[in-house]
């Protein structure tokens, strides 16, 4: 019976130690989560303190011409649409392939999607213009 009591006492102490360890890990994870939330918001605790003391910068206004200036398309569909929209006489699949490096199937799929959206049209077979 004494052996059983000693075993339960040892197990109890082990569980208490384990519980303290889990609490410490939990506290550390909460601290890390707070730090990540602050970093995602764009500031660390030190940066927030500096931001409070630093004067605010005023935003510059950009002209309409600068804001609507040329920018690179960020998707494959955007790239193809950009090529078609900029061509005066229309763009062929060969021209699009040469400028983008996409394979024929990808180009045809993109053209299909753009036509379905009504962004481009085809005045003649194989030539695409902005709608």
pLDDT digits (tens, 9 = 90+) for 34-69: 888 888 777 555 555 555 555 556 666 665 555 555
Give pTM, 2 decimals: 0.46
Please give the tally of structural domains in the chain: 2
61 occurs within a structural domain: no
What DSSP string runs through 11-41?
HHHHHHHHHHHHHHHHHHHHHHHHHHHHHHT
For 24, the domain range is 2-46
Tell me the C-alpha distance between 13 and 19, whole Å.
10
66 occurs within a structural domain: no
Q: Where is pLDDT greater, at 66 or 94?
A: 94
Q: How many CA atoms lie within 13 A of 74 on its CB side?
A: 1
Residues 36 and 82 in one domain: no
Question: Quick one: which H or E segment has residue 129?
Answer: strand 127-130
54 occurs within a structural domain: no
Residues 77 and 32 in one domain: no
């Amino acid at each position: 019976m004494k052996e059983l009591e000693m075993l339960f006492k040892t197990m109890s102490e082990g569980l208490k130690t384990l519980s303290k360890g889990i609490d410490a890990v939990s506290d550390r994870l909460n601290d890390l989560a707070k730090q990540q939330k602050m970093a995602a918001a764009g500031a660390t605790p030190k940066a927030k303190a500096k931001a409070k003391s630093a004067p605010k910068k005023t935003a510059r206004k950009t002209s309409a011409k600068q804001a609507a200036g040329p920018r690179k398309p960020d998707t494959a569909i955007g790239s193809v649409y950009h090529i078609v929209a900029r061509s005066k006489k229309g763009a062929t699949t060969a021209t699009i392939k040469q400028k983008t490096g996409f394979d024929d199937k990808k180009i045809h799929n993109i053209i299909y999607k753009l036509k379905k959206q009504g962004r481009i049209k085809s005045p003649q077979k194989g030539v695409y213009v902005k709608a």
